[in-house]
Structure 1
Amino acid sequence: MPQNNHLIRGRDKLAQQPDFQLVGRDKELKQLAGVLMRKQANSVLLVGTGGVGCSALCLGLQASKNDSEASFDIINKRIYWLDTDGLFASGDPSAMNEHFQKLLRTLSRSKESILIIEDARDFIEAARNNGCTNFINALVREIRMNKFQVIFETRDDDLEVVLKCHSDMREYYTMLDIKEPAHESLTEIITVTSKRLEQHHKITISEGAIATAIDLTNKYRVREMSLSRAQPERSLNLLDRALTTYRQRAHAAPAELTQLNQQLSLIEAAIAGDESSEFLHVPTEQLLSKKSELLQLISQQQEQWQSIQQQLRKCYKNQRDGEEGLIELENALLKQQEVEQAQGDTKPEPETLDQFRSFSASLAAGFESEAISKIRAEIAQMEAYVKENKQAFEQLTRQVNANLCLDVDSVLAEFSAISGIATDKLNQDERSKLLKIHSVLNSRVYGQDHAVDQLADAVRVARVGLKDPEKPQASFMFLGPSGTGKTELAKALAAALFDDERALLRFDMSEYMEKHGVAKLIGAPPGYEGYEAGGILTNSMRSNPRVIVLFDEMEKAHPDVFNVLLQVLDDGRLTDNRGLTVSFGEAIILMTTNIGQPNFLDENLSFDEAVSETMKELDQVYRPEFLNRFNGRENIVCFNRLDLAVVEKIARREIDKLNRQIKASGKNININISDQTLADICQDIYVPAIGARGLPGYITTRIKPAVANTLLQTPDAEGEMLIKYDITTKQLNISAPTKQAVLNPA
């Protein structure tokens, strides 16, 4: 518990979590201990994304003092946590200052004292808002004089505030960047920590459920608050939510009863002749016998479940009545004590020696009146009743939960409900997904088979662990005419690997044409505004390292940007202006450029000739060392100019997409356009310099308005909207749906 000077001793802090165990963080704990044992810069700034475990690491430092292998220097440390909320709770600057000076005196008694401030930004802003900015200077002064050490914990997003709070932060503090644990360590952490969830929910968690939670939270990023934090907290939050949903479902109807009802449904379907039933070919006599057996088992299970429910409800009622009775008895005791105290105040003083001796003896014996003794006996009896009833309730709960175990399907269902991604996609085997990736990409990007093949092969190589561990999973540069599928291929890859196009991190390099564009990517230099905020690229990668990064129209970027990206392509890592390093080892880097575009539009040049001319132009624009980073230029891929057959396929895809949108809105209307009509439209509107980009615009401006007007004027209309095209007038003829219910104009 907090002491009067708002310091919590390390052993008291650890005692608040008796089952605490730090696992999977041996390396980080050793680094932290090493900094604390230094002579210079031996205070620590622990930096990490929310949920990564900075607080657990500090608690692990306290726990490590009990290890047999702990360094004597660490054993000798006196660790304190600051009760920040308690320090600033009064709102009185004088009282706050008095308490702060007192805790400084406590810490200064030994140079081996360590003050841990769990939320540095919270402390700094509370000091400023309460007129106590001297607290920050006082801490730095004490550190400078080597009176004690400080550990500041801060999130990435708050690092700017902490670094700006004092000009000497970098001189006296060593920054430790705590990253998400590697897979093996993460599995160990979740396996150990999930035991606390099992104790809370009283339901076991299968190994498969733990592995699935880790896999899903590593692979996908969702905007839901509890799942947007760092590992290991993401996985633990998913397991906690899955356990809650599973428990609600299991306590509404037991799992055994649910399974029996499912089997009964399959048997009844087979008896009715349903071809989808797995028991269709079983003889009818056996089906009827099995049905009778199931009905009997279901009846027995229902009786048992109803009996347990009645007992649980009875225990709940008894518990509620007992607790209310305790409150009434305690109130009655207080009233009786008040009454007797008032009566005692009015009693005359003992006059005789015998009266005095009797009065003294009653005090010595702890004498209470008969009324109070009776109430106390009733309270003791009621407490025993409540305790006994609680044990009965817990026994029934254990009986209900005995056969419950959180499985893979429950975790998948919970994550699907949160993310909106279908369970079948989440449950798709990674191996199967990689084997199908070629066909999935080809279903969205037409006419660029060579580019799809090369990208799919590179992804497979990386995902099976054959890539260079020091480089991104794949790095490609796409060239070719506009509208041929370069950006679409990047989106298709994001959807194929992560089931979400939003997993694509896109940078339009026309926004980085100036020299200061580098500062936007990795952060401003020291002394410039926004220095502490970091860069867009590095911050995004720290929050989600498993991503596809698309740099669009690279030729527009300032040359200094290429120097930054050289490090990304070669080393797979990048250090921002604050000294925080991000890894691109799990990222796929894609770049597009318009260089050489006229070569592919020149009908006098073959594709191979256009590629040859374009590669010469690339050498004039980009440095050789930059181009060589793309797998020795093997991953510099040129896209074909689209022919009309491909354009027609893209147009058909867009019409199908429109029909899906109409159905999703609840309308039974279908756009019907023949292949010949579509070919005539594409023949007239396709411009090679624009590529396929003109098709969505044409559909949006010419076809969608007709659909919108139909939905507004005849909301009950259904059927087909036939579209014809006059090649002479270049006009569309769109007929209304075949079945309509026209609104009354009045």
Structure 2
Amino acid sequence: MDNIKFTDGVYQAIKNSKVLSQRCKLNYVGTEQLLYGLLTLPNCEACKCLEKFGVNLKNYSSFLKDTFNRNSTLGDFTPRAKSVISDAEEIADSSHVGFISTEHILLAILQKKDCKATNVLRKMGIDYDGITAELAEKVYNLSRGYKSEEAENVYEDVTAEKSEGLAEDNPLNKFGFDLTKKARDGKLDPVIGRNKEIERIIQSLSRRTKNSPVLIGEPGVGKSAVVEGLAVEIAMGRVPDTLSDKIIFSLNLSGMLAGTKYRGEFEERFQEAIDYVVKQGNIILFIDEIHNIMGAGSTGESNMDLAEMLKPMLARGEIQTIGATTIDEYRKYIEPDSAMERRFQPITVDAPDTESAILILKGLKDKYEAHHNVIITDEAIKSAVNLSDRYITDRNLPDKAIDLIDEAAAKAKLRYRFTPTDVSEKKSQLRSLSNQKDYHVSIGEFDVARQLTEKINKIKDELDEIERKILESRSAKIPSIGEDDVAEVISEWTKIPLTKLSVSESEKLLALEDDLRDRVIGQDSAVIAVSKAIKRARASIKDPNRPIGSFIFVGPTGVGKTELSKAIANVVFGDDNSLIRIDMSEYMDKSSVSKLIGAPPGLVGYDEAGVLSDKVRRKPYSVVLFDEIEKANPEIFNLMLQILDEGRLTDNKGKLINFKNTIIILTSNVGANLASQKPSFGFATEEEEEDDMRDRIYEALKRKFSPEFLNRLDDIIVFKSLSKEDCGKIADILLDKLVKRLAENDIELKIAASAADVVIEDGYDEVYGARPLKRAIQRRIEDLLSEEIISGRISAGDSITVYADNGRINYIKK
């Protein structure tokens, strides 16, 4: 029996069973994992026999989880698993076939009628006697000389490592690592939802020519993960025979370049590595950022670079590579070299949709839970995908959602693992007492040193007891990551206040109208129109790729157009600073477009970012205010059409600027003079007057702006002139701000009604709106108080009442 060998199928089944145990965090390989390993090999005889009786990998796996013993301390095959292999050897020896195949292993498992694998099969309702008879017949046929498809490659010891992988002293090991070995060792993350891309790579690698694929996709979509998925497929034996013995080696070009001092040293290293790959014949090089080979190693005296060194070998099929790069880098570096381009087979890797991203994160959940020792809820995963998709527009799924979960878990772990104060204090006492003891020992005061030693031992015992209790409490309670934890990280990344994410969307939108009305006085119709448009956008009725809302504010000066823009920034985005203001009077000439998106290549200022593109990239969640839009050059309106219709803009560097999380507001004075004109007939109601004014302003806008521009706006908001009553409410708000500013300097200020009436009377102007009111407060009250404060007649701790007497403002100090 000592000369009996094991087929490749048996070896691969054992390897796959080990991988399963590693992924499930088990310390053993039992009969149930052995049976799983057989089912992962659809071409082996044992798997065919099991499938014939209704057992496949999918339905077996659903029964398998309940059998795992996570408390086991075994670090090897269980006694029953070892007994199965021993029995398989005896079956093969008695059949005189000279090797052990998967049929022998399965028959040995079935003969252990009380092991976990057979218990699972009984639960599945398998015809136990039927499958045993079928296998016995197959084993009998082998003993009569029938050839087994698995017997071509046999190995001495199924529980030892197969003679695979790379030698430890090979020249590649210094500049990368074996992905296939990592997959066999269970050190790679699972790859989910990329079956099509992996299948495309397998097809490309199996071709006769152009059998070196290059993965093209945006950063973070999972190009490297697809290659890792292929390595897992090879390790699990789920690839065609042409790839079954292949090794995928990840080559680090920067590591190869590091430390080279003399010309030609880099090329020598690379050539040595390539010669080894050619000699081995079964290595596939994975080169991430493969565009870096273009020009790498070339000098001023020679055009020879890594790409030129690779071209002949790729053309002759001596080596195979898998590359990965972004779309931009591929176009910039590889496409211009047609000779290099035709040696690669491009495969596009697109970003997954939100549903696929959720599945990917659920597949990675166990890895991150084990690393951080936390529990990640399904709600946290959904929140991470949805919030990152909505608020992080400059990165791609699934990378940004994975980073979000990773940081949320790290934050929870650090918060939970923070060393308590009493532990820190006792460690500090230990250091102090140890220093004192060393000092007393050095001067010969041994009695004092002995007393200090007793204190040190006592504190150590107390510290050990505290740490024991901490460990017990931590093991009893594992931190859980939920939606709030994810929202908190998003808030840190995007500067959106946490409360704005924690409050449900419906609650925020229902309060929107009241919040805006509190800040903008006398423009109820404008507030209602803006609120309705924002609600329509947030209710997912509108195209999600367009801005949240786009409006043009028209009306007299000083009536609240800019104030409403600030209010929207504060209420919707949580901060007045979320307002990006572009004064269109600065963009009146034809070259102004370059200021907004950056100068085109070849012109001065190409390296500088555009005002609009840079601000929106830095603050993608904001109100963008184009003030006095009618003063802009007509060329700028072509940019506006793209922003309003498609919610995006391309800057001078070709980067896409996303406007889908912005609110676009344009202000205009077109028709402003019409707002204060009364209709020609004298007995119109207030509603009829507003309708007439709105119609006249619409006509003025149509004469100034093109139909395609106006048609892309969500709404045209007409602001009416402020009444004296409105100015009174605005005065109350402005005076209240003044009271708060003085309160910060410990001065109590009270404004009498008589003083407020004088300010309103002095500052009210139907034509100029609220701005004269601000100047009246400055002139009448602020100037008076500033003189008194500077002169020292008013100081911190004083209580001041401002009043008016016969139209003259004065104050009383208490």
TM range (shorter): 0.5 to 0.7
Q: Deviations over 1:62-100 (max 9, x none)?
A: 556668998999999975544244234315143334324
Match of 1:468 in 2: 543
Q: Is the 8 A contact 2:523 2:719 kept in 1?
A: yes
Q: Distance in 1 between matches of 2:690 and 2:539?
A: 33
**Matching residue within 708, 711, 730 for 1:650:** 730
Report the Cα offset of residue 448 of structure 1: 1.5
- Residue 727 of structure 1, CA deviation: 7.2
CA distance in 2, matches of 1:711, 1:133: 75
1:629 corresponds to which residue?
Answer: 712
Evaluate the alpha carbon distance shift between residue 670 and residue 7 of structure 1 in structure 2; reply closer, same or farther with a 3 A threshold.
same
Q: 1:604 to 1:152 in 2, by over 3 A?
A: same
2:801 is equivalent to residue 722 of structure 1: yes
Which amino acid letter does the alignment assign opposite residue 699 of structure 2? Answer: K
Q: TM-score, normalised by structure 2?
A: 0.57
Checking the alignment, whether the CA contact within 8 Å between 1:119 and 1:152 is kept in structure 2 is yes
- Partner residue in 2 for 1:639: 719
Aligned ranges 1:500-579 → 2 under 5 Å:
500-522=575-597, 524-525=599-600, 546-575=621-650
Give the aligned residue type for 1:639.
F
What one-letter code is carried by the residue in structure 1 that aligns with 2:664?
I
Task: Judge conservation of contact 2:251–2:285 (CA < 8 Å) in 1.
Answer: no
Q: Does 1 or 2 have the higher relative contact order (CA < 8 Å, sep 6+)?
A: 1
Cα gap change, 1:190/1:167 in structure 2, threshold over 3 Å: closer, same or farther?
Answer: closer
Moved more, 13-22 or 450-459: 13-22
**Cross-structure match for 2:145:** none
Shift in alpha-carbon separation, 1:85–1:590, aligned structure 2, 3 A:
same
Q: How far did 1:616 drift?
A: 2.1
Give the distance between the partners of 2:468 and 2:360, measured in 1 at CA: 29
Per-residue CA shift, 1:632-667, capped at 9, x if unaligned? Answer: xxx11211122232233223223333444555x4x4
1:204 maps to which residue?
375
Go from structure 1 to structure 2 and tell me whether the alpha carbon gap of 1:423 and 1:571 turns closer, same or farther (over 3 Å shift). Answer: closer
1:618 to 691, 701, 704: 701
- 1:510/1:79 Cα in 2 relative to 1: closer, same or farther (>3 Å)? farther
Following TM superposition, by how much is the alpha carbon of 1:165 offset from its aligned partner in structure 2, in angstroms?
A: 7.2
Shift of 1:450: 1.4
Distance in 2, matches of 1:19 and 1:398, equals 31
Following superposition, the deviation at residue 437 of structure 1 comes to: 0.9
Per-residue CA deviations over 1:482-512 (Å, capped at 9, x if unaligned) read: 3322232233223222323344444333444
SS at structure 2 position matched to 1:672:
strand
Q: Secondary structure at the match of 2:799?
A: strand
Q: CA RMSD in A?
A: 5.6
Map 1:193-342 → 2, pairs under 5 A: 193-211=364-382, 231-233=400-402, 235-248=404-417, 252=420
Gaps of 5+ in 2: 1-167, 432-463, 681-688
Q: TM-score, normalised by structure 1?
A: 0.62
SS at match of 2:519: coil
Counterpart contact for 1:136–1:166, Cα < 8 Å:
no
CA contact (8 A) 1:209 1:406 kept: no
Q: Aligned equivalents of 1:169 and 1:143: distance in 2? A: 16
Deviations along 1:143-177, whole A, 9 cap, x unmatched?
Answer: 997987674656x9xx79x9877993899599999
The size of the alignment, in residue pairs, is: 588
Q: Is 1:6 aligned to 2:80, yes or no?
A: no
Stretch moving more, 103-112 or 653-662: 103-112
- Alignment check: 8 A CA contact 2:623 2:663 kept: yes
Structure 2 vs 1, CA of residues 419 and 46 (structure 1 numbering), >3 Å: closer, same or farther? closer
Match of 1:279 in 2: none
Letter of the 1:643 counterpart: S
Q: CA deviation at 1:193?
A: 3.7
Change (3 A) 1:568 1:500: same
Q: Which amino acid aligns with 1:429?
A: S
The Cα offsets for residues 543-579 of structure 1, whole Å up to 9 and x where unpaired, read as 7655443333222333232223323333444455666
* Aligned residue number for residue 168 of structure 1: 336
Instruction: Tell me how far apart the structure 1 counterparts of residues 612 and 212 of structure 2 sit (CA, whole Å).
Output: 30
The residue aligned with 1:447 is 522
SS state of the match for residue 559, structure 2? coil
Could you tell me which of 485, 492, 496 is aligned with 2:571? Answer: 496
Match of 1:298 in 2: none
**Gaps spanning 5+ residues in structure 1: where?**
254-305, 318-389, 739-746
Partner of 1:232, secondary structure, is helix
Give the 5 Å matches for 1:654-665. 654-663=734-743, 665=744
1:709-735 CA-partner distances (Å, limit 9, x unpaired): 749959972353323457756xx5355
Match of 1:89 in 2: 258
Q: Deviations over 1:156-210 (max 9, x none)?
A: 9xx79x9877993899599999887654344444444443342233232334444
Question: What is the SS of the residue equivalent to 1:637?
Answer: strand
Conserved? CA contact 1:710–1:717, under 8 Å: no
Q: Which amino acid aligns with 1:681?
A: V
1:21 maps to what in 2? Answer: 190
Among 89, 95, 98, the alignment partner of 2:268 is 98
Give the Cα–Cα distance (whole angstroms) in 2 for the partners of residues 77 and 523 of structure 1: 49
Report how far residue 625 of structure 1 moved: 1.7
Describe the superposition over 1:435-483 as per-residue Cα deviations: whole angstroms up to 9, x where unpaired.
1111111111122211211221122222222223454333222212233
Q: How many percent identity over aligned positions?
A: 29
Where do 1:108-187 residues align within 5 Å?
115-118=286-289, 135=305, 138=308, 151=323, 153=325, 168=336, 172=341, 182-187=353-358
**Deviation, structure 1 residue 243:** 0.9
Matched residue of 1:691: which SS? coil
1:246 and 1:406 in contact (8 A); partners too: no
Change in 2 beyond 3 A, CA 1:708/1:601: same
CA 1:711/1:624 → structure 2, altered by over 3 Å: closer, same or farther? same
Q: In 1, Cα distance between the equivalents of 2:242 and 2:774?
A: 69
Query: 1:733 is matched with which residue?
Result: 810
- Match for residue 474 of structure 2 among 392, 400, 407: 400
| 2:751 aligned to which of 673, 680, 702 | 673
Structure 1 residues 190 and 140: CA distance shift in structure 2, 3 A: same
1:4-53 deviations in whole A, cap 9, x for unaligned? Answer: 572444435767981412346678889999999997997566444xx666
Q: CA deviation at 1:618?
A: 1.8
Q: Structure 1 pair 540/151, CA: closer, same or farther in 2 (3 Å)?
A: farther
Separation (CA, whole Å) in 1 of partners of 2:243 and 2:566: 51
Q: Which amino acid aligns with 1:672?
A: K
Q: Give 1:629's aligned amino acid.
A: R
- Residue identity in the other structure for 1:652: D
| Native 8 Å contact 1:504 1:547 kept in 2 | yes
2:770 maps to 692
When Rg is computed on C-alpha atoms for both structures, the one with the higher figure is 2
Instruction: Tell me the distance in 1 between the aligned counterparts of 2:694 and 2:486.
Output: 49
Whether the aligned pair in 1 keeps the contact of 2:789 and 2:795 (CA below 8 Å) is no
Separation in structure 2 between the aligned mates of residue 412 and residue 23 of structure 1, nearest angstrom: 25
Q: Decide which moves more: 203-212 or 163-172.
A: 163-172
Distance 2:223 2:602 in 1: 28
8 A contact 1:522–1:536 mirrored in 2: yes
Q: Secondary structure at the match of 2:590?
A: coil
Letter in 2 for 1:617: A
Alignment check: 8 A CA contact 1:177 1:580 kept: no
